[in-house]
Amino acid sequence: MKDIKNFDLKELQGYMLSIGEKPFRAKEIFHAIYKEKQKDFTDITTLPKNLRQKLSEEFYIYALEKVSETNSHDGATKYLFQLRDGLLIETALIRESNKFGRKWNTLCLSTEVGCSLDCQFCATGQMGLIRNLDASEIIEQLMFVDNNIPINNIVFMGMGEPLLNYENVKKSIEILTDTEGRAFGKRKITISTSGIIDKIYRLADQIKMVNLAVSLHAADQTTRDKLMPNLKENPISKLKEALQYYIEKTGNAVTIEYLLIKNVNDSVENALKLVKLISSLKPCKVNLIHFNKVPFAEFSPSQREIEFQKLLLEKNIRATLRKSKGTDISAACGQLVTRNLTNVAKN
């Protein structure tokens, strides 16, 4: 049996042709699964009965199993899902609003179980890489939550490094943005990467129009190597060239993410190095992130967040300070899953 959510529209059209059906049946299936959110082929009444029967024999419509849902005091929700093989992932929903009363919901999707990159401040990194998610498991995180809560933005910022699972992430975006299905806007999607250079070039050439955020966290190589030891082969100088290419090729702005960690990357000198590095990258903005303390590392949140932001603003760098939503339920990274896995291991 195959998971139909791993098939994009072209592949499904190819399948229809291969069984002697008209390709437009694929569009009807996309419509039924991603717009009407049908869970069973027998309920897709636009399809002839014999085709429904054949599909039920060859495919299934995958649904994630929710293990828990935790709400934080500031309106963030963290979902813990179990995958087919029993592994767990998390998805975070962040509810935001502005001073004009506009409200919007952002969903933070996971792309891998764990992560191979071992960033020293990150709970997901502590798990190591267990496996990549397939396109269906990525798509389903949105489909599950979106069923009850309208999602306006997607960020690939949950567990894992999206550009090390490039093909499945690309396919999930193609399926979710397909106008025959969920028709999610590409401009409403952001990929956050720790800076996998060759894939940033591919992203610029292949998946235009999505937004790119790069977790830089340090503007000098020595500090970055300390924080992100597995990214030495993706050095800052080459990363900058790739970002320049991405901006030129897509016309999109790039967001630089910068976690502020006490006495590690939050000095005046650190800020000036950052200014020097990115002032020629245009358009670009900086998102300063409040660090959430993790039990396995000595790092502490910076007490200089406002000063650091001020320094950037004075040098005409657009810089926002990201309020840390859901810290009481560890919605920023893989903490809930690692905790749960520990419990499972103990039992």
- 163, 10 Cβ separation under 8 angstroms: no
Residue 90 bears catalytic tag: yes
Q: Decide: is 332 part of the binding site for ligand SAH (CB under 6 A).
A: yes
Tokens at residue 328, please? 């009481």
Which of the following is catalytic: 21, 90, 161, 257? 90
Q: Decide: is 333 part of the binding site for ligand SAH (CB under 6 A).
A: yes
For ligand SAH, which is the closer residue by CB, 72 or 194? 194
Residue 314 bears catalytic tag: no
Which of the following is catalytic: 108, 119, 122, 333? 333
- 107, 92 Cβ separation under 8 angstroms: yes
Other C-beta atoms lying within 10 Å of the C-beta of residue 102: 9
Torsion of CA 258, 260, 266, 268, to 10 degrees: 50
Which residues within the stretch 208-247 sit at the binding site for ligand SAH (CB under 6 A)? Answer: 215
* Distance separating alpha carbons of residues 132 and 167, to the nearest angstrom: 10
Which residues within the stretch 107-126 sit at the binding site for ligand SAH (CB under 6 A)? Answer: 121-122
List CB contacts of 5: < 8 A, sequence separation 6 or more: 33, 61, 62, 135, 136, 139, 140, 175
Q: Decide: is 146 part of the binding site for ligand SF4 (CB under 6 A).
A: no
8, 140, 257, 266: which one binds ligand SAH (CB under 6 A): 257
* Distance separating alpha carbons of residues 81 and 340, to the nearest angstrom: 11
Q: Torsion-angle region of residue 142: left (phi > 0), alpha (psi -120 to 50) or beta? A: alpha
**What is the pattern of x (binds ligand SF4, CB under 6 A) and - over residues 217-256?**
----------------------------------------
- 302 contact, one of ligand SF4, ligand SAH, none, CB 5-8 Å limit per kind: none
8, 137, 140, 161: which one binds ligand SF4 (CB under 6 A): 161
Residues near ligand SF4 (CB under 6 A): 115, 117-119, 122, 124-125, 160-161, 194, 215
